[in-house]
Chain A
């Protein structure tokens, strides 16, 4: 019996330590945003008085409204397009089966493991040749046909009742109308989960925007944080404030839509 109590205590203790380690960087980020850079790098972890000054410094270096606008435009456009293109494909693969398309689907499975590192050089050359460097189009387009999301929708479509389709067909609806007016409204939770995943991925994307976007007026928030950090004398008060601002939207999405968030994360890679 004693042994049981000791084990219980050990479980609680390790989970508490894990919780502390998981949460501490968030606390550190918020506290850091209120401190001066030299206090941050010497480990001051209590609330300071430098928040306003950090904000002013950030605004002096970065056109914050423009940066957030850029991130939002890229993430929202990528999300809408990805959901449209990939849900059409997922639905198409599941509903209209043929031997050739099953083969294609298997090839997609193989393509899934192609690392982005292997694509970035040719993609960069293609984008430059098409004179699309430094455009949002170039940031968004290569990410639109997401194999993950196609899988996710195919998987979810398996649960879409055939009777609904049959009834709609009897009513004389064309296939695209069935998709738009029957399938889409009944799969709202699938779309919600996919939206969260694609938006987050796009909002947080770093390497590809880093390659494509060169001028300050096009940079997204992740690129700004990164370039602030690589300055010769990085101002960590300003940097941590900008990470707070960059993390806030995704944090809010997570807490408001926790269930769909986790569902999407599990589903998108199933």
Chain B
């Protein structure tokens, strides 16, 4: 009898402790995401809308701006995420060597970009990459290029600026995860490999990467999800331009809802494209990890 009263108490307390958070998540996450699903079947502008079936999906497939935003977003994460992950891994491995001098200094410096707000660093990059700005000056002075690069006015180079900017901001962040994971790797494995004459590069690919696979997978997922939602940088560095060269899905949703005559149903449909992509990527990456583990 006493036991059941205790259990009931624990039950009540269990619900009481999580209730405020659950209510807020219900109101501000679950309800909106369901509402958004329902909205994606509605057509019309402003607050006048009616059921339109798959009309929004049809509009999506014939919308060149959407397709451009989708392509740009994919280019950003396909190019940027691997570059950043590899850089972060290399830095982490280099900084994990206890015989290296100035480790603390290097680590702090590479991590420092994480402290800036996305808007602040975007503005910095915009000013550094202006037509006759400091980056072009350096490149011209060192004769790496003969003519200034049209960073923000050329569709190709504008994408490069965005990729450079994100890489600058997030490499140190990912590096911290690898450094933390490397501390848990047994040093004697490396020692044994060294004695057996395994070269450094092979130690990196044969020991470090397999050991860090879970955390590499994890950082790849969060980086990809982050890049799929890219907004602050493109809105502040290029405003999606030139043309639509750096328009991303998030920026397009924002424009559809808040810059043009709002079409909530269509915005919701575009936003579900991001939801589906995030879901597919997460599932795919987990499956790859599981398969590798099985065959290993």
B-binding residues in A (CB < 8 A) = 7, 11, 14-15, 18-19, 21-23, 25-26, 28-29, 32, 40-45, 85-86, 88-89, 91-93, 95-98, 101, 104, 108, 111, 113-126, 141-142, 144-145, 147, 150, 175, 179, 200, 203-204, 206-207, 211, 222, 225-226, 229-230, 236, 239-240, 243, 246-247, 250-251, 254, 258, 262, 265-266, 269
The residue of chain B having its C-beta at the shortest distance from the C-beta of A122 within the complex is: B32
| CB-CB under 8 A for A45 and B25, given A15-B106, A22-B112, A240-B124 | no
Report Cα–Cα, A241/B10, bound state, in Å. Answer: 54
When chains A and B are docked, how far (Å) is the Cα of A222 from the Cα of B233? 12
- Chain A residues whose C-beta falls within 8 Å of the C-beta of B35 in the assembled complex: 122, 125-126
Question: What total count of A-B pairs have CB within 8 Å?
Answer: 254
Q: List 30 A-B contacts (CB under 8 A).
A: A11-B94, A14-B94, A15-B94, A22-B112, A25-B113, A25-B125, A28-B124, A40-B127, A86-B21, A88-B18, A89-B21, A96-B14, A108-B25, A113-B278, A115-B228, A121-B257, A121-B264, A123-B32, A141-B28, A144-B24, A145-B23, A150-B21, A175-B9, A204-B119, A206-B231, A207-B231, A207-B254, A222-B119, A243-B120, A266-B177
Q: List, in ascending order, chain A residues with CB within 8 A of B95's CB.
A: 15
Q: Residues of B contacting A122 with CB < 8 Å?
A: 31-33, 35-36, 39, 268
List of A residues within 8 angstroms of B123 by Cβ: 225-226, 229, 239-240, 243
Q: Does B156 contact A (CB under 8 A)?
A: no
**How far is the CB of A145 from the nearest CB of chain B, in Å?**
4
Q: Of B13, B126, B282, which is in contact with the most chain A CB atoms at under 10 Å from its CB? A: B13
Partner of A19, one of B24, B29, B109, B138: B109
Hey, which chain B residues are within 8 Å of A222, CB to CB? Answer: 117, 119-120
Give the secondary structure class of B's interface.
helix
Closest to B14 in A: A96
Q: How far is the CA of A150 from the CA of B25 in the complex (A)?
A: 11
The residues of B that contact A98 with a CB separation of less than 8 Å are 11, 14
Chain B residue contacts of A7, Cβ below 8 A: 200
Among B21, B127, B267, point to the contact of A41 (Cβ < 8 A): B127
Report the nearest A residue to B30, measured CB to CB: A111
Q: In B70-121, which residues have CB < 8 Å from any A CB?
A: 87, 90-91, 94-95, 97, 100, 105-106, 108-121
Residue of A nearest to B248 (CB): A117
How many Å lie between the Cα of A98 and that of B225 in the bound state?
Answer: 31
Interface residues of B in 247-273 (CB under 8 A from A): 249-250, 253-254, 257-258, 264, 267-268, 271-272
| A residues near B239, Cβ cutoff 8 Å | 230
Q: Please indicate the chain B residues that have their CB under 8 angstroms from the CB of A45 in the complex.
A: 134
